[in-house]
Chain A
Amino acid sequence: MNDTGNACGSEDLGGYVLVRVSGEVDLSWSQQVRDAILAALGRGGVGVELSQVGYIDSSGIAALVEGFQRARSTNKRFGLIAASKPVLAVLQLARLDKVFPMFAGVDEARVA
């Protein structure tokens, strides 16, 4: 976490990794988000928690799409958890809101 509020951390929940993203996901660090998601997928299913994301641009969306595609090709679970309004708006704009599995909380995501 730095002064921008941008942060990306992961938490192992036993075969399921919760990646928490917060702040404004843009080109300046979306690569880090991407790397974190792909790394987490190496350890199991992944849920990306987005409730504290105030902004996301196409490079951030691209990171999510890449994670989603990697999970499918490796037969792992992948979902978005508690996506904030700004994230949902952009997903809708990109017509991806029906593509990602979306969950209200981490518990639903883990049992899905």
Chain B
Amino acid sequence: MNAVPLAAAGGGERHALRFLAELSQALAQSLDLRETLDMAVTRIADFMQAEAASLFLLDRAGLIECRICVGPVDITGLKLAVGQGVVGRCVADNATQIVRDASCDARVNVRVDAETGFVTRSILCTPLSNARGPIGALEVINRRDGGLFDEDDAEILRLVAAPAVLAIGNAQLAHGLVEQQRIKRELELARRMQKSMLPRRRRGDFPIRGVNLPAHEISGDFYDFFDLPDGRLAFVIGDVSGKGLDAAFLMVRVASMLRWVGAHAPAPAVWLAQVNAELCRTAQDGRFVCAAVGQYDRASGTVALASAGFPPALLHDGKAFEELPADGPPLGILAEADYGEREFTLGARALYLFSDGATDVRTGASDRLGEAGLRGLIAGHAALMPEARLRAVVGDLKRLHLVDDTTLLLLQEPCGAHAHTLLDLEFPAQSAQMRSVRAALRHALDAQGVAPELRDQLVLAVDEACTNVIRHAYGGECTRRIALHVARERDMLAFELRDHAPTVDPASLKPRDLSECKPGGLGLPFIAMTMDDWKLEPAADGQGNILRMHKRIDFGDKE
């Protein structure tokens, strides 16, 4: 430290050092800028034996504003341009200014004196500056003893300026932190609000599960599922282009629209078209939304699905994947866009819907996981139950580097992995076989504790289905094969009957009206009345037909 010429300040070197130490400590302790500086300027004025003292700070507009003022004239709020007056010069030059005789110094702004009657005789002004340059100035006016400020006084003022600058810096830092905290709190609030829009996880054997992993506090992704009045389940997954607050706001809006429109259970293609039209009507600066919507009928196992530019859905049977591409463009681009939709039987398969964040996961410096990678993750956990599998896949994704909001929706009957075969038969298409087929089926149903009346009715329905295959699909008794597979998934019995006959048009099968008394055509009504649902589909390989029939049964506490 330089030698401190303090004799002039009155009290000697020791006195000055003690003052400096006290001032520094006081400045260091408080984080309230105004209170701290007010105290500091008062003490400086006293120590310097000055009639008035003021502290100026550069504002954002580049003007120097008087923030603290002690003395007979309050000039708080006075603003000066850099270079204007003694203070302006001090800041402009980043150098201490001494005005020994104010009455004849061109730097002195005479306006304040003229307005207030205060007589300025002598001025000492030192810059407040940090490593980046001046941030303001500290000024004392008129020694109380009538003398003039000198170099020694200037040295003292320079010394007290240093802790003042530190205090200002601290306080501004603290203010910045408080502001950051506030923004963080608000973002956290927004995040929680967004999260609260996601549907609650349903326990038990509910077949839909979702996960949303925001890359930041807030997300442009969303998913939803809800019950429809007809008993089906509706589900939605979406991804708003872009990130940040505007994407998050659009997400909230689109999620609400999809829910609103979807509640009326429109066909998925109509559902998307309506939301798309509305979104285009109120278009916003090129933002768009990729989404997939669908309905799932647990009783029949049927899924209706439509996708607006969403990444291809994956159907996985535990061994192979089937890819379901998008049925139209993303929402919010083409007002007149048409959307296709698809319908399929889920069976024990799993349907995965995922936002592109899941495939954009980084596996290296620049490598994306990609769809093949995601398939690999899913396949790697295929043996797990749906809930555990989804958690395992999400765990894998988190271990890799998530760069975008990531959302996954899994649709699968939870007991799919528990489905067990009750009966697996193959026999030639001959009616003489039916007696033993019925006996085997009766036996299998008895083993499950199916009540005798219902058992007989189910046996009749299956028998009718088999004889229809013999008579109509194969056109009569023959040695070609019929395969019957009966499985149980919890309280659901699933009957599957497969033949190798030419494809039958499912539309040609209509149960007849029973109010007419006539001998034929009773088979289909028996099936329709017994089963909860039935459906004839061409076999996947194009060879033959598959009749799927389901019956939900109250097994009581069995299994």
Seen from chain A, the residues whose Cβ lies within 8 Å of a Cβ on chain B are 4, 24, 26-28, 55, 57-59, 61-63, 65-66, 68-69, 86, 89-90, 93-96, 99
CB interface residues, B 448-476, toward A, < 8 Å: 453, 456-457, 459-460, 463-464, 467, 470-471
A69 touches B464 (CB 8 A): no
B517 touches A65 (CB 8 A): yes
B459–chain A nearest beta-carbon distance, Å? 8
B456 touches A28 (CB 8 A): no
Which chain B residue shows the least CB distance to A59?
B467
Q: Would you list 25 pairs from A and B whose C-beta atoms are within 8 A, ordered by A residue?
A: A4-B435, A24-B438, A26-B431, A26-B434, A26-B435, A26-B463, A27-B434, A27-B467, A27-B471, A28-B435, A55-B438, A55-B459, A57-B464, A57-B467, A58-B520, A58-B526, A63-B519, A65-B518, A65-B519, A66-B519, A69-B518, A93-B529, A93-B530, A94-B514, A94-B525
B519 touches A95 (CB 8 A): no
Bound Cα distance A79, B515 (Å) = 20
B463 touches A69 (CB 8 A): no
Contact flags B424-457 to A (C-beta < 8 A → 1, else 0): 0000001110110010000000000000010011
A61 touches B522 (CB 8 A): yes
Bound Cα distance A64, B522 (Å) = 13
Which chain A residue shows the least CB distance to B439?
A24
Max chain A CB contacts within 10 Å: which of B459, B460, B529? B460
Bound Cα distance A65, B525 (Å) = 16
A94 touches B434 (CB 8 A): no
Whether a CB of chain A sits under 8 angstroms from the CB of B242 is no
Known: A26-B467, A62-B520, A62-B522. A95 touches B434 (CB 8 A): no
Q: Report the interface size for chain B: residues with CB under 8 A from the other chain.
A: 29
Q: Which residues of B are found within 8 Å of A26, using beta-carbon distances?
A: 431, 434-435, 438, 463, 467
- Tell which of A58, A66, A99 touches B464, judged by Cβ atoms closer than 8 Å: A58
Whether a CB of chain A sits under 8 angstroms from the CB of B347 is no
Whether a CB of chain A sits under 8 angstroms from the CB of B134 is no
B460 touches A90 (CB 8 A): yes
Bound Cα distance A58, B530 (Å) = 14
A1–chain B nearest beta-carbon distance, Å? 15
Whether a CB of chain A sits under 8 angstroms from the CB of B318 is no
Q: Tell me how many residue pairs across A and B have CB atoms closer than 8 Å.
A: 69
Q: Which residues of A are found within 8 Å of B515, using beta-carbon distances?
A: 95
Q: Which residues of A are found within 8 Å of B518, using beta-carbon distances?
A: 65, 69
Whether a CB of chain A sits under 8 angstroms from the CB of B544 is no
- Tell which of A28, A58, A69, A89 touches B522, judged by Cβ atoms closer than 8 Å: A58
Whether a CB of chain A sits under 8 angstroms from the CB of B416 is no
A95 touches B514 (CB 8 A): yes
B431 touches A96 (CB 8 A): no
Whether a CB of chain A sits under 8 angstroms from the CB of B5 is no
Q: Which residues of A are found within 8 Å of B471, using beta-carbon distances?
A: 27
Whether a CB of chain A sits under 8 angstroms from the CB of B370 is no
Q: Which residues of B are found within 8 Å of A63, using beta-carbon distances?
A: 519
- Tell which of A27, A86, A95, A99 touches B456, judged by Cβ atoms closer than 8 Å: A86
Which chain A residue shows the least CB distance to B522?
A58
Q: Which residues of A are found within 8 Å of B438, using beta-carbon distances?
A: 24, 26, 55
A78–chain B nearest beta-carbon distance, Å? 13
Max chain B CB contacts within 10 Å: which of A24, A86, A93, A95? A93
Whether a CB of chain A sits under 8 angstroms from the CB of B523 is yes
Known A26-B431, A27-B470, A28-B434; further 20 A-B contacts with Cβ < 8 A: A4-B435, A26-B463, A27-B471, A28-B432, A55-B459, A55-B460, A57-B460, A57-B464, A58-B521, A58-B522, A58-B526, A63-B519, A65-B517, A69-B517, A69-B518, A90-B526, A93-B457, A93-B529, A95-B515, A96-B517
Which chain A residue shows the least CB distance to B459?
A55
Bound Cα distance A28, B434 (Å) = 8
Q: Which residues of B are found within 8 Å of A90, using beta-carbon distances?
A: 460, 526
A89 touches B525 (CB 8 A): no
Q: Which residues of A are found within 8 Å of B456, using beta-carbon distances?
A: 55, 86, 89
Bound Cα distance A61, B464 (Å) = 12
B221–chain A nearest beta-carbon distance, Å? 51
Max chain B CB contacts within 10 Å: which of A58, A68, A69, A96? A58
Bound Cα distance A28, B430 (Å) = 8
Contact flags B492-536 to A (C-beta < 8 A → 1, else 0): 000000000000000000000011011111110110011000000
